[in-house]
Amino acid sequence: MKNYCFGVDVGGTTVKIGLFDREGTILDKWEIPTRTEGNGEKILPDIAQALQKKMEEKGLQKEDMAGVGIGAPGPIDKDGTVYEAVNLGWGVFSLRDTLQELCGMPVRAGNDANVAALGEMWKGGGQGYRNLVLVTLGTGVGGGILVNGEILNGATGAGGEIGHIHIQDGEEDACGCGNHGCLEQYASATGIVRLANRILNATDEDSVLRQGKVSAKTVFDAVKAGDQAAVQIAEAFGDYLGKGLAAIAGVVNPEAFVIGGGVSKAGDILFSFIEKNYRKYVFHGSRNARFTLATLGNDAGICGAAKLILE
Amino acid sequence: MKNYCFGVDVGGTTVKIGLFDREGTILDKWEIPTRTEGNGEKILPDIAQALQKKMEEKGLQKEDMAGVGIGAPGPIDKDGTVYEAVNLGWGVFSLRDTLQELCGMPVRAGNDANVAALGEMWKGGGQGYRNLVLVTLGTGVGGGILVNGEILNGATGAGGEIGHIHIQDGEEDACGCGNHGCLEQYASATGIVRLANRILNATDEDSVLRQGKVSAKTVFDAVKAGDQAAVQIAEAFGDYLGKGLAAIAGVVNPEAFVIGGGVSKAGDILFSFIEKNYRKYVFHGSRNARFTLATLGNDAGICGAAKLILE
């Protein structure tokens, strides 16, 4: 009986791996380093070896395994073809077929943000929803979209790349992608710091944020303490993000937005800034979408990868 | 053998109906009036009767029919439930089950814009693509989105309602939906007239558009004749629409945009205004999306409806 599977989440510095049963219980999890040298050619053999070793350790045979799900950063289409994953050094190739050959088990592959959305739907903040958008507010803004429970990969694996939706005309700073005025420039952790500096520089208003280094965390801590400048920053953040999520809803009409990433550690207070702006900008057909927090943290990727192969 | 089917496209004033073979040839097509009185309760019985009559006329039995596909304006989910179609007077009910009972054949139902996208993919300007966005530039801006060849209905049938994506802050005029700054306010036929009036009022520049009534048609005719004010209007239109389509691509990463509706009669010249702006605003992963014109005109709805039931 194929009662087990592996979920693999490839990051720029470490590969997270989990051993799961069919119900999604994490029986074991560990990490190996991501060796990106030589155009990342060692990454998949390293993973195959790690899986083999774990199976020996646990006394598992290939017949016991449903297979391997894997998420990786970069555009990956529904057939598991990668279209250049610059962080890993990968060009265009079939991640699915290559890993399948190396480990001798069925493999399914997807973009890491999309796979994380699947994880949150299965075991995290998105439980109970089949049409959801995972919004990851970290260094950048990432997204994973599920339509009827399935990942929306898009034609070339760039589905859900919501961080680069144009949201502001006339922005002078360039986004990492080269464009100007991307959602990521206002709603990521670094975007919030940019907004904070702009707003603090524009007034003399007293603020705890003027003492020490500003971060997304210090901004929302200050909001909770009632700091007015911090509230103004959070309002600007909420306006941009609400507007961006409303545009997304105008395309996919989700049941729920699941908010994850480092910024989401601020907790429910985020919703008071995002939701009212979302409802202001959105088409009425999507006005009732729910907002929830992601709950799986770093396990979302391995959970979603496991779900990918168990489907 | 179930070699035939009906495709039905319900509009606010007429219902278009087509009799198709499995290959998508239109064997017959005709219209009946849409009787919206009494909360639209006569619409579906009228359709059932029209289908019955046509089958008698053609000597067709139920055994010959694969069934009936139907598109209607308003949010309709993948199971054929309508969530209020205000133009028709309809509330919330199962369009699929109701028509199925009335005509005794299998029925599949979808939103009219989404169904038209399916038609364009099958027999029109979207042939060869499985991930496409049909953009209908008419009185309003409508959209239909196909992901891997299937309609993206969204959670409550509002998927692809792209006309109401917020695209401009500070707009004083209200959109028909009640919001301010929707894509439809700049890229529809009426939106182009609004842009034209603004631009003509802002300068004294000579323009053929100052003679007679301005419409989307006169604007693009003037563009073709080299009228500079008209070019400026078309540039503004292209900037708004390019920005909107780039946002959509940031969500669904389509292979192609198929441009239809009355405004699309201007032809390929539209692309010179839309495409460069699209590529300016879009995330690089979607930069290579193709732009084509819809080709089915008023038949897109009945064709897509037929495809819906033949799938």
Ordered DSSP codes for B208-254: GGGSS---HHHHHHHHHTT-HHHHHHHHHHHHHHHHHHHHHHHHH--
Q: Tell me the nearest-neighbour CA distance from A161 into chain B, angstroms.
A: 5
Percent of chain B at pLDDT > 90 equals 93
Q: Is B284 on the interface with A (CB under 8 A)?
A: yes
**Which contacts (CB < 8 Å, 24+ apart) does range A191-200 have?**
A191/A141, A191/A237, A191/A240, A192/A216, A192/A219, A192/A233, A192/A237, A192/A263, A193/A219, A195/A233, A195/A236, A195/A237, A196/A230, A196/A233, A199/A229, A199/A232, A199/A233, A199/A236, A200/A229
Cβ neighbours around B161 below 10 Å, total: 28
Whether the pLDDT of residue A296 is over 90: the answer is yes
Q: Is A159 on the interface with B (CB under 8 A)?
A: yes
Q: What mean pLDDT comes out for the span B104-130?
A: 97
Radius of gyration of chain A (CA): 20
User: How is the beta sheet containing B141-147 ordered, strand by strand?
Assistant: B150-151, B141-147, B132-137, B256-260, B290-293
Whether residue B217 contacts residue B234, with contact meaning beta carbons closer than 8 Å, is answered with no
Q: Tell me the nearest-neighbour CA distance from B276 into chain A, angstroms.
A: 14
Q: Which amino acid, one-letter code, is at A290?
A: R
The number of angstroms, rounded, from the C-alpha of A260 to the middle of its chain's C-alpha atoms is 7
Q: Is A75 on the interface with B (CB under 8 A)?
A: yes
CA B236, CA B197: separation in Å to the nearest integer? 12
Whether the pLDDT of residue B31 is over 90: the answer is yes
* Average of per-residue pLDDT values in chain A: 96
Residues of A in Cβ contact (< 8 Å) with B254: 154-155
HSE (side-chain half, CA atoms, 13 Å) at A57: 9
Give residue B191's pLDDT band: very low, low, confident or very high (50, 70, 90): very high
Residue B252 to residue A251, Cβ atoms within 8 A: yes
Residue B247 to residue A165, Cβ atoms within 8 A: yes
Residue B250 to residue A161, Cβ atoms within 8 A: yes
Residue A1 has what pLDDT? 78
Q: Is A131 on the interface with B (CB under 8 A)?
A: yes
Q: Is B83 on the interface with A (CB under 8 A)?
A: yes
Q: Which two tokens stand for residue A14?
A: 């470490």
Q: Tell me the nearest-neighbour CA distance from B147 into chain A, angstroms.
A: 7
CA B306, CA A254: separation in Å to the nearest integer? 27
Q: Are strands A4-10 and A90-94 parallel, antiparallel or unpaired?
A: unpaired
End-to-end distance of chain B based on CA atoms, in angstroms? 16
Q: Which amino acid, one-letter code, is at B15?
A: V
Whether the pLDDT of residue A311 is over 90: the answer is no
Residue B165 to residue A247, Cβ atoms within 8 A: yes
Return the residue matching tokens 């953009």.
Answer: B135
Residues of B in Cβ contact (< 8 Å) with A253: 153-161
Q: Which two tokens stand for residue B130?
A: 């499985």
Residue B86 has what pLDDT? 82
Residue B84 has what pLDDT? 84
Whether the pLDDT of residue B71 is over 90: the answer is yes
pLDDT digits (tens, 9 = 90+) for A75-116: 898 899 998 888 899 999 999 999 999 999 999 999 999 999
Residue B7 has what pLDDT? 98
Residue B250 to residue A152, Cβ atoms within 8 A: no
Q: Facing residues of A6 across strands?
A: A19, A68
Chain A residue closest to B152 (CA)?
A252
CA A50, CA B68: separation in Å to the nearest integer? 54
Residues of B in Cβ contact (< 8 Å) with A162: 250-251
Q: Facing residues of A5 across strands?
A: A20, A67
Residue B251 to residue A159, Cβ atoms within 8 A: yes
Choose the closest CB to A247 out of B75, B145, B166: B166
Q: What mean pLDDT comes out for the span A30-48?
A: 96
User: Pick from B220, B308, B304: which is nearest to B264 by CA?
Assistant: B220
Choose the closest CB to B158 out of A155, A248, A253: A253
Q: Which two tokens stand for residue B21?
A: 């073979």
Rounded to whole angstroms, the maximal C-alpha distance in chain B is 68
Residue B131 to residue A154, Cβ atoms within 8 A: yes
Residues of A in Cβ contact (< 8 Å) with B165: 246-247, 250-251, 283
Q: Which amino acid, one-letter code, is at B216?
A: A
Q: Tell me the nearest-neighbour CA distance from B56 into chain A, angstroms.
A: 40
Choose the closest CB to B154 out of A131, A178, A247: A131
CB–CB contacts below 8 A, A to B? 136
CA B176, CA B184: separation in Å to the nearest integer? 9
Q: Tell me the nearest-neighbour CA distance from B308 into chain A, angstroms.
A: 18
Residues of A in Cβ contact (< 8 Å) with B156: 253, 285-286, 288
User: Pick from A99, A93, A100, A88: which is nearest to A77 by CA?
Assistant: A93
CA dist A80 → A96, A152, B158 (Å): 5, 13, 30
Residue A162 to residue B250, Cβ atoms within 8 A: yes
Of A78-87, B117-126, B213-222, the range with the lowest mean pLDDT is A78-87
Residues of A in Cβ contact (< 8 Å) with B286: 154-156, 158, 161
Residues of A in Cβ contact (< 8 Å) with B179: 280-281, 283
HSE (side-chain half, CA atoms, 13 Å) at B219: 33
Whether the pLDDT of residue B21 is over 90: the answer is yes
Choose the closest CB to B166 out of A158, A161, A246: A246
User: Pick from A86, A166, A152: which is nearest to B279 by CA?
Assistant: A166
ipTM for the whole predicted complex goes beyond 0.90: yes
Residue A86 has what pLDDT? 82
CA dist A229 → B22, B150, B233 (Å): 65, 47, 41
Q: Which amino acid, one-letter code, is at A85?
A: A
User: How is the beta sheet containing A150-151 ordered, strand by strand?
Assistant: A150-151, A141-147, A132-137, A256-260, A290-293
Whether the pLDDT of residue B160 is over 90: the answer is yes
Angle at B205 between CA B202 and CA B206, to 5 degrees: 135
Whether residue B107 contacts residue B119, with contact meaning beta carbons closer than 8 Å, is answered with no
Choose the closest CB to B283 out of A131, A164, A254: A164
CA B73, CA A226: separation in Å to the nearest integer? 47
Chain A residue closest to B247 (CA)?
A165
Residue B155 to residue A283, Cβ atoms within 8 A: no
E strands in A176-281: 256-260
Residues of B in Cβ contact (< 8 Å) with A241: none
Q: Which of B121, B253, B277, B284 to mutate to test the interface with A (most CBs of A within 10 A)?
A: B253
pLDDT digits (tens, 9 = 90+) for A226-272: 999 999 999 999 999 999 999 999 999 999 999 999 999 999 999 99
